[in-house]
Structure 1
């Protein structure tokens, strides 16, 4: 910048258009400065703070960034920047003033909020919030008092959800199906639980049971009865609509498991059928015996009636003759009747023996079927235990994977934090180095100026000495 006896040459940059004004008087300089201040004020009037249009969703323990930046970009490092949370008793979350971060935040946020100081020159005043808590859920305000601009950001914190765990809960003999149970915990807000088949279609399941713990996190569980399908693959999916957070677990039930269940049901049905047949045979034999005895009783009564009716119309001699004949006939008939009776009793005895033999055979068959059913049930229980053990091992492996994943994420976050700190230290070192170089340069300039002044004084002294020497001569 050059200066003459009337004014100064001033240059400034506005919206990438370089303008040079040569001011020949202090009045023109003052006019340009006022014009520049007006333009700056108008430019600031058009600025606005911009934040995300959708809520920021985070899990408990995450490190997140609440975005907020000034448009058009402007250096805000020298301004006052305030982050507050609405509805909080101590609303201050983070305050930047006079080029430094003030420790005036709410106790629950101390040590967990950071501004990107290198980005303030670009108008970026986004806030980093580390180790997010469930209580951090709420509406935050990003505010710059100097230009009276603000922006609002919604933060939704979900729980530290666990991967859904599927277990074999039992057998449904009526439907010849397998009962599966799914459970997942650590959700907030309350989620919904869905069962899907291998093709992604919804399954009809029982009502979802929801339990809210003392930490305000929800645990959900549900049961479903599944039948044999093409793939025998089933999925338990837990979804939170507000945070759009989804976790799911898959399970495949072996074909043999359904075959054993079907065979067991068929064997039980056959045993019941044999028992019913046995009862029917016994009833029929009892009815047959009762009918034979009833016929014998009717025959005796008819003979007695015939004998009594004929005795009233004969004389004593005839009676004696008839009695003799009757005795012979009766004796003969009695012998025949006795013989028929013995034959009938023999037939009944043979039938009873055959019936007892059939009953014993049916009982033996039923016992054999019962042993087969017990054997099948034992095999089914063994397979159920194996499936439960396999499911448990799979769930443990999934939990180990989740644990390793969480540890890896934490390591990455720690590494990012260290990198950020290293970057901040590097920036501070560069700033200090720049300041030292600037001080060194100023010191060098002052030294050169002093040397020039010394040289000038020497020259003046020499000239003065020469002048006085000449005058004396």
Structure 2
């Protein structure tokens, strides 16, 4: 699944420092960025990643780390977290969490105990909606019945738009459950040749994604 990464640098933490926000689709990978200020070679340094101030996500100490000789990593993150070894010399302590789940939502702290205990908070939000799926249900030379399906957590609102970005009247959204996920389906009947977009929006995540389709009606 394509990695979706949305970083917002202007969220404020309790201490007043800028907090990074990373928004990804469920089951995709998430890169949590972190570097000390100023940047230094981290090859012989220590950095510690924790979730919600408690769970150990990843620990590094001069070449010994959670995937090589260090114990204590929380079971939630076993064999799912990796760092970027070749970037340590550039001061990069970022990690990648593979195959993210809803349980991974939370605040992650990147701590440098030997560098004035510098701490940086990153908010990980899992559940961004992927691109909606458009399907043709029926058609004649005068009209076409289109269906758009989307999912995400929270469940997105779905709208149909024309090429001028006008919101079009459509059928009432239908909510269904499948494979442990909620889906929203919206149908529309179009009667003119145009390019149409199905737009899925999650306002609480500041996330929007769209799928497009072209309709050519021979009866016009």
Specify the TM-score bucket, using the shorter chain as the normaliser. Answer: 0.7 to 0.9
- Aligned: 1:150 with 2:113: no
| Alignment equivalent of 1:219, drawn from 162, 183, 190 | 183
- Aligned: 1:71 with 2:37: yes
From the two aligned structures, give the one with the greater strand fraction. 2
Shift of 1:141: 0.6
Alignment correspondent of 2:215: 252
- 1:70 alignment partner, SS class: coil
Shift of 1:138: 1.8
Shift >6 Å, 4+ stretches: none
User: What is the distance in 1 between the residues matched to 2:20 and 2:160?
Assistant: 29
- 2:103 alignment partner, SS class: helix
User: What is the distance in 1 between the residues matched to 2:214 and 2:139?
Assistant: 15
* TM-score, structure 2 normalization: 0.73
Is the alpha carbon distance of 1:98 and 1:198 closer, same or farther for their aligned partners in structure 2, counting shifts above 3 Å?
closer
Shift of 1:181: 4.1
Is the alpha carbon distance of 1:58 and 1:243 closer, same or farther for their aligned partners in structure 2, counting shifts above 3 Å?
farther
Shift of 1:131: 2.7
| Alignment equivalent of 1:235, drawn from 197, 200, 214 | 197
Alignment correspondent of 1:208: 173
- Structure 1 residues 333-344: aligned runs within 5 Å: none
Alignment correspondent of 1:198: 163
Is the alpha carbon distance of 1:249 and 1:100 closer, same or farther for their aligned partners in structure 2, counting shifts above 3 Å?
same
Q: Retained in 2: the 8 A contact 1:166–1:249?
A: no
Deviation sequence 1:83-106 (CA, Å, 0-9, x none): 01117xx61001123541023211
State the aligned residue count: 197
Deviation sequence 1:20-73 (CA, Å, 0-9, x none): xxxxxxxxxxxxxxxxxxxxxxxxxxxxxxx97441122234333211101112
- Aligned: 1:187 with 2:149: no
User: What is the distance in 2 between the residues matched to 1:232 and 1:80?
Assistant: 58
Q: Retained in 2: the 8 A contact 1:191–1:239?
A: yes
Deviation sequence 1:371-426 (CA, Å, 0-9, x none): xxxxxxxxxxxxxxxxxxxxxxxxxxxxxxxxxxxxxxxxxxxxxxxxxxxxxxxx
- Give the root-mean-square deviation of aligned CA atoms: 3.0
Alignment correspondent of 1:14: none
From the two aligned structures, give the one with the greater helix fraction. 1
Q: Retained in 2: the 8 A contact 1:159–1:188?
A: yes
- Structure 1 residues 98-109: aligned runs within 5 Å: 99-101=63-65, 102-109=70-77
User: What is the distance in 1 between the residues matched to 2:31 and 2:38?
Assistant: 21
Alignment correspondent of 2:58: 94
User: What is the distance in 2 between the residues matched to 1:66 and 1:235?
Assistant: 32
Is the alpha carbon distance of 1:143 and 1:221 closer, same or farther for their aligned partners in structure 2, counting shifts above 3 Å?
same
User: What is the distance in 2 between the residues matched to 1:65 and 1:122?
Assistant: 17
* TM-score, structure 1 normalization: 0.37
| Alignment equivalent of 1:55, drawn from 21, 44, 60 | 21
Deviation sequence 1:153-175 (CA, Å, 0-9, x none): 0112236736422334689xxxx
Is the alpha carbon distance of 1:247 and 1:134 closer, same or farther for their aligned partners in structure 2, counting shifts above 3 Å?
farther
User: What is the distance in 1 between the residues matched to 2:179 and 2:18?
Assistant: 33
User: What is the distance in 2 between the residues matched to 1:178 and 1:240?
Assistant: 30
Larger Rg: 1
